[in-house]
Structure 1
Amino acid sequence: MENDICLGCLATNKTLKNNYCLKCIKELFNGIVPNPLNFDRVEFTKKRAELSPRMSISGVQDKISLTFEKKDLVPTAINGKYILKPISSGDGHIQNEKDVVANEHLSMLISKNIFNIPTASCGLIQFSDGELAYITKRFDYDDISGLKYDQEDFAGIIGVTPSSHGENYKYDACSYLDCVRIIKKYVASSVVSVEDFFKRIILNYLICNGDAHLKNFSLFSKVNSNEYFLTPNYDLLNTRFHVNEKYGDMALELLDGYTATYEKYGYYTYDDFKTFAKYIDLPDVRFNKIMKFIEESYPKVEELIDKSFLSESAKKFYKSSYQERMKRIKF
């Protein structure tokens, strides 16, 4: 099937090759125009079972690693430069599973193209039967040398594990304020990275991502470097549309304790993020600029939601939940 919308950036006014604009072909596929996948979701499940004992991709969502063979992206057990995630299998744990792929794609584009946060390159790609899957380019490999970067998620940096903090260690071990302390300790350009992290927390709050836990933030150092940076954003999703949240408004607590406003309302508001900004030494002028941007950028968010491949009910939910969170943090 040939679309009039880019499966990478959702642009509708660009020349497309195999459903991708030239910019996405360059950024996502390193200049290679990819063919649709030569297998479907049923075959994906078989290939995942064959490869899973040898694959190192973590997480609970079904996924496999891909590599290019000429213009075909094919499953691989080692050195894959792409991760493929299809529609969930429908085992009862996830509601509205058919929207998961489009949800993650949209959420990542909001991060990258509207909030201007460094974000893993991603897009949608067709299975052999035309069904869409989510594909993202791995950011932990050097494009030129092919060497892997040194990367560690925040759980590993802190040293928390299921044995030390229980099965919910990714959520219970510390707060987002603790995460900033990690950044200040290990990242040389911490002033820039702290503001970047603040924007990520605001974004996760707005899109109702209740899964922005310790393992979904990482630091990495590039080849032949000892300097650490925040990795690009990854694994973004409006989780409220798919699961009954267990951990409140966000995956981690924002602060070490609760503000009087939170105690009063039971959810995070402008006062909480203002306090958070103060504790992480984000200047008032930068905080105010970000909060103004959030309000002014919503029309672009809504436009991107409308262009996405979400179902109509999912689009409606995404907009309403985003607007609800905006009202909560409005001064």
Structure 2
Amino acid sequence: MNEIKNCPSLLLEGCDTYSTKAIKELFDGMVVSHILDFNIDEFRSNSNIIDAMHRISVSGVQEKFPAVIEQGKIRLSHNEERSTYILKPAPWDHTLIARKQIPANEHLTMQIAAQVYGILIAANGLCFTNDGQAVYITKRFDISADGTKLPMEDFAVVVGRNEQTDGIHFKYSGSYEDIATALRKNVSAWMVDMERFFELVIFNYIYANGDDHLKNFSLIRQGQDYRLAPAYDLLNTSLHVNSDDFALDGGLSDIVEKSDVYDRTGHPCRIDFERFGYQIGLVKSRIKRILDKYMQLPDTTIHLVEHSFLDDKMKRNYLRIVNERIARFKRQSE
């Protein structure tokens, strides 16, 4: 087990476990060990645990394991027990480049979204097995303080995509304008959440999340109204696979005219996102305010990358990829 020098949640310096602030945000004030009592390979082979995984991910494709906190320890939840956390170890797929660093990548990308850009996210961190394997942990925002589950639907459901009618790749079908249209129809305070959605699309492009599909955006009911759920599953996928600019096969929009840069290179630039913003109903000043935030690499991003749990090579690659995306974004269209 490597020595912990930074908070495994907020990446604050000088912490050998979760910081006081992280304890409050991630664990509701409970002091929790960052070391798991079980080994990843052991619980993967346990049939009861596999059943537990399927309760979180119906398809069983994603490795998401339900968990709770008990007596200062993170443990897997029992069959009839309401989980309040989700654990995501490194994927089983050995064809993925540097697969064991995927939990640290997701953790870092989520923290950058929140700490650098003010994006509302699911509280998260890392925990570790005794042999040093990092496991991503995230707090379930769909579980209220009294343990009841809040109604929540991902946008595959909201826009009506499913495997029966749209094939096995249904979650990649459509465009981001489809999500925006559905958001406007289903959220009374749609303008506020439309800005949040717009910034998420830009963030995912700049930080190379090529898996931002329909199921990675959701609506959640708060009181009597539905709102855009906090961001989750943010990941720099280019570190592990050759990913596209966008997960959805329709890109930003099926009808918005592409810039000459986009037509020539196959990659969008700032004006393409401006046009997308207008198309989904945002005003010019708000579009500009959001886009301006992504014109350069913030020092705070560099700081978080340097203090993350990625290895040194992956840290360099992470920053290189983001710098390349920013350079694409800043290109001038004729």
**Residue 250 of structure 1, aligned match among 237, 246, 249:** 246
**Residue 130 of structure 2, aligned match among 124, 128, 141:** 128
The Cα offsets for residues 186-221 of structure 1, whole Å up to 9 and x where unpaired, read as 111111101100110000001111110000000011
Gaps of 5+ in 1: none
User: Do structure 1's residue 178 and structure 2's residue 178 form an aligned pair?
Assistant: yes
Checking the alignment, whether the CA contact within 8 Å between 1:8 and 1:122 is kept in structure 2 is yes
In 2: Cα distance, 1:130 partner to 1:260 partner:
47
Alignment TM-score, normalising by the size of structure 1? 0.92
Cα distance change of structure 1 residues 266 and 130 upon mapping to structure 2, 3 Å threshold: closer
Paired positions, count: 320
Q: How does 1:1-331 map to 2 (within 5 A)?
A: 3-12=4-13, 16=15, 19-35=17-33, 36-47=35-46, 49-54=47-52, 55-58=54-57, 60-76=61-77, 77=79, 78-92=81-95, 94-143=96-145, 145-172=146-173, 174-222=174-222, 225-245=223-243, 248-252=244-248, 253-257=251-255, 258-261=257-260, 262-295=262-295, 298-330=298-330
User: What amino acid maps onto 1:226 in structure 2?
Assistant: Q
Checking the alignment, whether the CA contact within 8 Å between 1:41 and 1:86 is kept in structure 2 is yes
Cα distance change of structure 1 residues 119 and 136 upon mapping to structure 2, 3 Å threshold: same
The Cα offsets for residues 266-303 of structure 1, whole Å up to 9 and x where unpaired, read as 11111210110111122211122122222355221111
TM-superposed deviation, 1:91: 3.0
Checking the alignment, whether the CA contact within 8 Å between 2:156 and 2:171 is kept in structure 1 is yes
In 2: Cα distance, 1:67 partner to 1:234 partner:
19
User: What amino acid maps onto 1:229 in structure 2?
Assistant: R
Percent identical: 37
In 1: Cα distance, 2:111 partner to 2:164 partner:
36
In 1: Cα distance, 2:22 partner to 2:169 partner:
37
TM-superposed deviation, 1:82: 0.7
Which of 291-300 and 78-87 deviates more? 291-300
Alignment TM-score, normalising by the size of structure 2? 0.91
User: What amino acid maps onto 1:185 in structure 2?
Assistant: K
Checking the alignment, whether the CA contact within 8 Å between 1:114 and 1:297 is kept in structure 2 is no
Moved over 6 A (4+): none
TM-superposed deviation, 1:242: 1.0
TM-superposed deviation, 1:244: 2.6
The Cα offsets for residues 141-174 of structure 1, whole Å up to 9 and x where unpaired, read as 002x1110000000111121112111111112x2
TM-superposed deviation, 1:53: 2.7
CA RMSD of aligned residues (A): 1.7
User: What amino acid maps onto 1:319 in structure 2?
Assistant: L
TM-superposed deviation, 1:40: 1.5
User: What amino acid maps onto 1:4 in structure 2?
Assistant: K
Gaps of 5+ in 2: none
Which of 234-243 and 251-260 deviates more? 251-260
Checking the alignment, whether the CA contact within 8 Å between 2:259 and 2:268 is kept in structure 1 is no
